[in-house]
Structure 1
Amino acid sequence: MGRRSWRLAPALLMAATAGMLFAVVSSQQPSVLKRGSSLSVERFADDVLISEGGTFKTGFYPVGDNAFAFAVWFTEPANGTVVWMANRDRPVNGRESRLEFRSGQVALIDADGSIVWATNTSDVDGVVAEQMEIGEDGNLVVRDRLGKALWESFDFPTDTLLAFQGMTRSKRLVSRRAAEDYSSGPYQFLFDDDNVLSFLYEGSDLSSIYWPNPDMDIFGNGRTRYNSTKYASFDDLGRFTSSDNLIFSASDVGLKNKRRLTMDYDGVLRLYSLNSTTKSWEVTWLPVLERCRVHGLCGENGICFYNPEPECTCPPGFSMKNRTDWTQGCQPNSKIVCNDSRVQIVKLPHTDFYGYDMSTYKTGVSFEACKNICTSDCKCRGFGYRLDDGSGSCYPKNILFNGQTGPNLLIDIYIKVSSVGNFNNYLEGQFHTDCSLANLSIIRAGVFSSGNVQGDYLKLPVGFVIAIGLVEIICLVFGWAYLHKELGHIHNIGQGYTALRSGFKRFTYKELKRATKNFSSEIGRGGSGVVYKGVLEGEVVAIKRLEDVHHGEAQFWSEVSIIGRINHINLLRLLGFCFEKQSKLLVYEFMENGSLEKNLFNSSSTLAWDNRFNIALGTAKGLAYLHEECLEWVLHCDIKPQNILLDKDFTPKVADFGLSKLLDRGGTNVSSFSRVRGTRGYMAPEWILNQPITSKVDVYSYGILVLEMVTGRSSVGFEQVDDNGEIRSAQLIPWVREMVGTRQQWIEEIADPSLSGIYDKLKMEILVKVALKCVGEERDARPTMSQVVDAITLGCQ
């Protein structure tokens, strides 16, 4: 049987075998396999070893139609989570295969008698392997008669690292191929040649590192190559450390949870913690990495876009190579012949294909010259072009790989296609349509003004727009059924994702009116509406009644579905919504401790230093997720204490991050805000100076927020006793800068008096210095929110 046939199992068989595999097992099952014993694949539900505390099992695991692997998995959740496999790329037959402990080694034997895998611990020089055991830490170990380890699975990881399992120069995590395909995938987590932990895409023809950011040097990414150990690990408290200075902590750091660090099949490394209450895996750390920047996601010629999750499309004149596998990319609909007069250039605005530049021309290259460079070279597949301060930059490409599109990309790609006629097939066979590509311009070789294209050439872009319109109409008609289905289930990767709770739903106005007792318990009020306390299905919730939101039902539902699919521990979770006539309401999780404003500036409430520090860090993490991990165009535009809510443990939750999206869909284009947004005292200079709006406006507001938490003083001004004992008005930013620059004991002088001197001086110094960077007048000099998170985390280790 071929390799692929092992992987693709009928759903019915997998469901049946999984049910047998994870049935309750007798407490008498052993954790040890003795020399001379064996495990049978026919008895896979019973022939398993269980660790002493019951955390792990090892035995035969179904991976396809009549196909099994020898594996180790968590016993919880109920469907099991594989953490190691011996033969992931060569499963054995579901009949007559066995695991034997003979001649000093453990061997996996297929039905035909061939040895598929072995521990290679044959008896040598009196060393005799006596038993194999599964430990409570998940390590499968072969020991001799004295208990010495001769072989252990921790030395041969697959896609997962467990607590206290070290990463070394010889180890790497290799992703699985797909959600239900355990064979080796293209993504790896390893120490590279610079001694730096990196994410590597290892395709059949191409190989490249995509994290840490390849556009920055090692030190710019906060790493160091000067280490000789090449060692990394994390503990059960959720703290990861590495010899290359990669340090991070789980969002639930400090709790002794069951954890795993997995290189998922989408090319992103994630730290998971097992929620002891729900018995489900929750993501508690993941790197700052835009998902479309994962190399190979859409294959050669493919383009990644957000909808709002990453999806793939093919450019005009191309179609999928394999309709079931986007990683194989797109292929031209007809052969592109060099110097053929029918070869044309298609413009893909706000699009880039990362890397594989034939050469880079950065000094004043005109568009026409850039075009000539590519059209005169048969190896050139296309070129990127952008204007930087009036000077053109040209990037000819010999490979179109790692494509992505989005409004924040300040470069356009021009690709070669064979003939106009093939563009009629652009939408055929595409699973998803990216409306940002609706303004694709067709440019004939030698004619670079799309306005000059006449006759049949004009029909094509018009036809394309009409096709897009038809697709949108279909989406509106069938959108409710589709979105209801999509938002009703939990997105799962490797039994590990925890996204929206399945209860996200549409409520009736009558339900919400009854839940709030006719909207009688007001708990908050803002520019976008009033918030009421309510009870739905026994759970306390916050219900916001929106005002002045002029959207149709389909558009409002579309916006809400996007916000509802955003999930992060430091972002307020949307549970549902209501749209009836003129009533538009949003249902959120309830925050027991209210807003940061009430806790910070209320004389009856004193916010402890540890809470303030955790609020600063958590808020930064939430904003970093919005800016760089979730949807690249999501800006908050109104960061202030009123929009930072605190749960019962004072964990911060950024609220109202969907406001600009709900009020103005045009806000997805960062340069086209129709009016000033934000609150006096927290607004970046760009708003007043009418400059382009980017994520740095949120960085500025965040800096103000941190200064307020540290000093206990308002951003709009306060009264201060000067050195002469006179009371004078002061502004927050200039005052803090003056204190830092002129006073030796500046921390003591600016610290909020309500803290009574109880604070961590080092952490306060770091927060203040980071905040002052954030409130810089020049937006380009401000850090990104991910850099803020790193600065706080690394500085306070």
Structure 2
Amino acid sequence: MGNFLFIYITHLPTSVAATMAAETSVCQEIPSIIMLFLLCLSSTAVEPRSSLSRGSHLSVEDASDVLTSQDNTFTCGFYNVKGANAYWFAIWYTHSMEKTTVWMANREKPVNDRGSRLTLRRDGAMVLTDVDGSTAWQTNPTSTEVDSADLLNSGNLVLRDRNGKILWQSFDYPTDTLLPNQTFTNSKQLTTGIGKYMFGSGYFSLFFDENNVLTLTYRGPEISSIYWPSPDCSTIFECGRTNYNSSRVAVLDDMGKFVSSDGLQFGASDMGVGIKGLLKMDFDGNLTLYSLNVSTGLWVVTWEALIKLCNVHGLCGRNGVCEYTPSPRCSCPPHFEPTDSTDWGKGCKPKFERTCKDSHFVELTHVDYYGFDINYTQAISLQQCRQLCLGDCRCQAFSYRLDGKGWCYTKSSLFNGYKSPAFLGNLYLRLPKEIQTTEPTNLNASGHVCSINMINTTEILPSYHTNNQRSTFVFLYSFALAIGAFEIPILVLGWWLLFRKQGVPDLVEDGYRTISSQFRNFSYAELKGATRKFKEVLGSGGFGVVYKGTLEDARVVAVKRLGDEVIQGEEGFWAEVSTIGKINHMNLVRMWGFCWEAKHRLLVYKFLENGSLDKHLFSTSFLGWKDRFRVAYGTARGLAYLHHECLEWVIHCDIKPENILLDNKYEPKISDFGLAKLSQRGVTGSQVSRIRGTKGYMAPEWAMNLPITAKVDVYSYGVVILELVKGIRLSDWAVNDSGEPESELNRFVSLARGRFRKGEKSWVDEIVDPRLRGNFSRNQAASIIEVGISCVEEDRNKRPTMESVAQVLLACEDETAICAPENK
């Protein structure tokens, strides 16, 4: 009966359409449709599948479209963090409360929530495609002999031929988790995620090093450092390991026991038959063994590599110090502040300028920084150790042991800091003499303290407590869900039939999703009235004309009418709206709504009072220096967000003063970013179908037909900030000393590079916009010029990233600071 009804309903649209043509109202058909739907609900449920045949696929749009192992232990499909439009193809424990992931295919490249799919192609390749058809991940190598993809009871996703031979398996490509009976060899590594629910690769890894020993290593942007086995072990054997092995293999068995060829052995505290466990590299850098309580869905820690989390290197970044109060937390030393208060991995930055002269020292009791010793000397006095540091310009601090042996360690850099009463010694931090330290030397005196996000069972699953109140709530909630499951499909079915009767295109389903989110769907008549029939033009460009308007709620808006050459059909328009809707940053123009009606395609933005940058930079109404620096820094932050942080990783392709708008506080907001072609990180080759940009701001690779990357925006940004300094259009042409035409940009860059090589500084006054009459920061101006020159390098590989540019300019916010761009 269930199968018969299923076939009947799959053919329902045709019969309904025929009936609707004969009836005067769709409502007359709804009762019979409801009866059919209710009968369908009572039909036999579809059995879960563990295999995907060649030519079939899994869809992101259907949450039930998954593979489940035959014993129901593991599930494979699209994994989503609630509230984010980001999906990963993953394997997770079926019975854990929050679908604890054990493997991910595309941890670096999440895909969209509409149209993405995982396909086992007929050529044998398993391919993950995004909504635009681009490949986010695929198996490699592939074989035409592949017959099926199967999720095994072990949690291993395999591709097999008709004879059952495994041709590819997920066990060969672990992410941050090792499952029972998954062999770990020298070709594999476990790498942490960036943070909780942030699955991109972090800085901590487990792997076999060149000495054939399993190690935990921090590999950050500045340093690499092994922290397990303990660096305090004088030999490998002292740490209970041996490097006399060539196999380099380890395995966690079904009992919860781990054995490695380097002699390392450990077991779960609940070791025994039937344990469902995993070995995980937590994002705080610790290696932890967990066991699953099947009855509650909670994970229990049964073994940890490091009992003291402050032994993890790189945890608090450069200059930062890890201490227990009583839980681990990061702190800054006196006269230091966090580089980024939201990310302690970036450490602390000094509030002073380092100098080799007139230095004195601040004592930090029981504090030390591991590594980066310039030299170490035994049996000398504290005063002699101090003189060693003063005599070496590289020395930033020295450590002196209080164990009676007089050990002195001078430090060239301050990483891997920790404070512990067990450490019998003090650190002496080198500071400029003019800094008078009246505060105590306690780390808390800095006022910048942040708790470390400790990994425990709540990292994988939230804590769960049962009581009568919760039981009542669960009952009511379950009852509401049951009613919703009954009512909502009926309402959706009726809504679909009603709109089908009226001839609305299928794409309205996508529109309905967008309308019901944070956007508002404006009617064309409403926007026509708001703009007084599109009377006041704010500006125009390659993407369309912008008009000023006032909504009924008195909000002032900018309405962009998109040209036909920009948006080709409905799909292009919805892709545009979807892109902009997921992007939000204080230095990007915010969109409030849209209009899609007949041939009209309009976007509604917040109106910005001060218009575009060009109107304030190339006119008599020029910007002061503080506003110019604010524009340079804010624009860098906005582009860094587009390139490195937001889900779609957008390349703007047309950065220029006209596309940088200013609010009432002259905070910059980048516009038109949503109309750029999307670019996926890691993709080689051009992602842009035609040349975009404005002459004078376009990178050389446009004309050279090279693949387009985010470095085209870096080039354009470099031109803009050099114009901020100079106050004129550097895209203009002039005649050089030889009487030949030369761009103002080339002249400026050539002159500036020559002066920088000679170490001249006084020329900055001569080159900066004379309208400022000397009212500007020389340090900031010199730094912006140097950053701008590095951005407009013809070789794009020599240009910095926007993330590094933003960091350099942040260091220059203090007008007295001396800063320089990083070479990246």
2:52 aligned residue (26, 33, 47): 33
2:214 aligned residue (192, 197, 213): 197
1:395 aligned residue (397, 409, 421): 409
Structure 1 residues 100 and 277: alpha-carbon distance in aligned structure 2, compared to 1, 3 A threshold: closer
CA deviations 1:41-76 (Å, max 9, x no partner) are 222x12111111111111111147211111100112
Q: Secondary structure at the match of 2:439?
A: helix
1:365 aligns with 2:380: yes
CA distance in 2, matches of 1:258, 1:101: 29
Q: Secondary structure at the match of 1:266?
A: coil
Structure 1 residues 380 and 465: alpha-carbon distance in aligned structure 2, compared to 1, 3 A threshold: closer
**Residue 188 (structure 1) aligns with:** 205
CA distance in 2, matches of 1:247, 1:467: 39
Q: How high is the sequence identity, in percent, across the aligned residues?
A: 45
Moved more, 56-65 or 107-116: 56-65
1:174 aligns with 2:199: no
Offset at residue 291 of structure 1 (A): 1.1
1:348 aligns with 2:364: yes
Structure 1 residues 497 and 292: alpha-carbon distance in aligned structure 2, compared to 1, 3 A threshold: farther
**Residue 155 (structure 2) aligns with:** 138
Offset at residue 338 of structure 1 (A): 2.1
Offset at residue 415 of structure 1 (A): 1.2
CA distance in 1, matches of 2:291, 2:45: 27
1:495 aligned residue (448, 460, 473): 460
Structure 1 residues 395 and 490: alpha-carbon distance in aligned structure 2, compared to 1, 3 A threshold: closer
**Residue 407 (structure 1) aligns with:** 421
Offset at residue 468 of structure 1 (A): 6.5
1:179/1:493 contact within 8 Å kept: no
Moved >3 Å (runs of 4+): 418-421, 464-469, 489-494, 500-503
2:75/2:92 contact within 8 Å kept: yes
**Residue 223 (structure 1) aligns with:** 241
1:282/1:497 contact within 8 Å kept: no
Residue pairs, 1:387-536, within 5 angstroms: 387-389=402-404, 391-418=405-432, 421=435, 457=436, 460-461=438-439, 492=457, 494-495=459-460
Structure 1 residues 365 and 465: alpha-carbon distance in aligned structure 2, compared to 1, 3 A threshold: closer
2:223 aligned residue (191, 198, 206): 206
Structure 1 residues 164 and 410: alpha-carbon distance in aligned structure 2, compared to 1, 3 A threshold: same
CA distance in 1, matches of 2:439, 2:53: 71
Matched letter for residue 126 of structure 2:
V
2:403/2:425 contact within 8 Å kept: no
Structure 1 residues 382 and 27: alpha-carbon distance in aligned structure 2, compared to 1, 3 A threshold: farther
CA distance in 2, matches of 1:490, 1:121: 35
Residue pairs, 1:572-721, within 5 angstroms: none
Structure 1 residues 356 and 238: alpha-carbon distance in aligned structure 2, compared to 1, 3 A threshold: same
CA deviations 1:424-480 (Å, max 9, x no partner) are xxxxxxxxxxxxxxxxxxxxxxxxxxxxxxxxx47x227x899979x9xxx9xxxxx
For structure 2, the 5+ residue unaligned runs are 1-43, 468-824
**Residue 281 (structure 2) aligns with:** 263
2:111 aligned residue (92, 100, 104): 92
**Residue 298 (structure 2) aligns with:** 280
Offset at residue 186 of structure 1 (A): 0.9
**Residue 501 (structure 2) aligns with:** none
Matched letter for residue 139 of structure 2:
T
Offset at residue 253 of structure 1 (A): 1.2
Offset at residue 113 of structure 1 (A): 2.0
CA distance in 1, matches of 2:432, 2:78: 52
CA distance in 2, matches of 1:314, 1:26: 59
**Residue 5 (structure 1) aligns with:** none
CA distance in 2, matches of 1:68, 1:60: 6
CA deviations 1:612-637 (Å, max 9, x no partner) are xxxxxxxxxxxxxxxxxxxxxxxxxx
Offset at residue 294 of structure 1 (A): 0.4
CA distance in 2, matches of 1:174, 1:344: 41
Offset at residue 493 of structure 1 (A): 5.1
2:73/2:153 contact within 8 Å kept: yes
2:319/2:417 contact within 8 Å kept: yes
**Residue 397 (structure 2) aligns with:** 382
Matched letter for residue 167 of structure 2:
L
Matched letter for residue 461 of structure 1:
E
Matched letter for residue 199 of structure 2:
Y
1:300/1:330 contact within 8 Å kept: yes
Structure 1 residues 170 and 384: alpha-carbon distance in aligned structure 2, compared to 1, 3 A threshold: same
Matched letter for residue 194 of structure 2:
R
**Residue 124 (structure 2) aligns with:** 104
Q: Secondary structure at the match of 2:238?
A: coil
1:169/1:230 contact within 8 Å kept: yes
Offset at residue 194 of structure 1 (A): 0.9
Q: Secondary structure at the match of 2:164?
A: coil
Offset at residue 254 of structure 1 (A): 1.6
1:211/1:289 contact within 8 Å kept: no
Structure 1 residues 282 and 380: alpha-carbon distance in aligned structure 2, compared to 1, 3 A threshold: same
2:376/2:409 contact within 8 Å kept: yes
1:282/1:496 contact within 8 Å kept: no
Offset at residue 289 of structure 1 (A): 4.0
**Residue 74 (structure 2) aligns with:** 56
Moved more, 285-294 or 216-225: 285-294
Q: Secondary structure at the match of 1:370?
A: helix
CA distance in 2, matches of 1:270, 1:93: 32
Output the TM-score relative to the length of structure 2: 0.48
Q: Secondary structure at the match of 1:93?
A: coil
- The structure whose Rg is larger is 2
Offset at residue 234 of structure 1 (A): 1.4
**Residue 323 (structure 1) aligns with:** 341
**Residue 100 (structure 2) aligns with:** 81
Structure 1 residues 349 and 467: alpha-carbon distance in aligned structure 2, compared to 1, 3 A threshold: closer
CA distance in 2, matches of 1:331, 1:417: 13
CA distance in 2, matches of 1:73, 1:98: 18
Structure 1 residues 145 and 382: alpha-carbon distance in aligned structure 2, compared to 1, 3 A threshold: same
**Residue 291 (structure 1) aligns with:** 309
CA distance in 2, matches of 1:27, 1:249: 40
Matched letter for residue 97 of structure 2:
A
**Residue 115 (structure 1) aligns with:** 135
2:439/2:445 contact within 8 Å kept: no
Offset at residue 78 of structure 1 (A): 2.3
Matched letter for residue 130 of structure 2:
D
Offset at residue 27 of structure 1 (A): 5.7
1:247 aligned residue (243, 265, 268): 265
Matched letter for residue 352 of structure 1:
D
What is the RMSD computed on CA atoms of the aligned residues? 3.1
Structure 1 residues 466 and 374: alpha-carbon distance in aligned structure 2, compared to 1, 3 A threshold: closer
For structure 1, the 5+ residue unaligned runs are 1-24, 422-456, 476-482, 504-797
CA deviations 1:688-728 (Å, max 9, x no partner) are xxxxxxxxxxxxxxxxxxxxxxxxxxxxxxxxxxxxxxxxx
CA distance in 1, matches of 2:220, 2:411: 19
Offset at residue 82 of structure 1 (A): 0.3
Structure 1 residues 276 and 29: alpha-carbon distance in aligned structure 2, compared to 1, 3 A threshold: closer
Q: Secondary structure at the match of 2:375?
A: coil
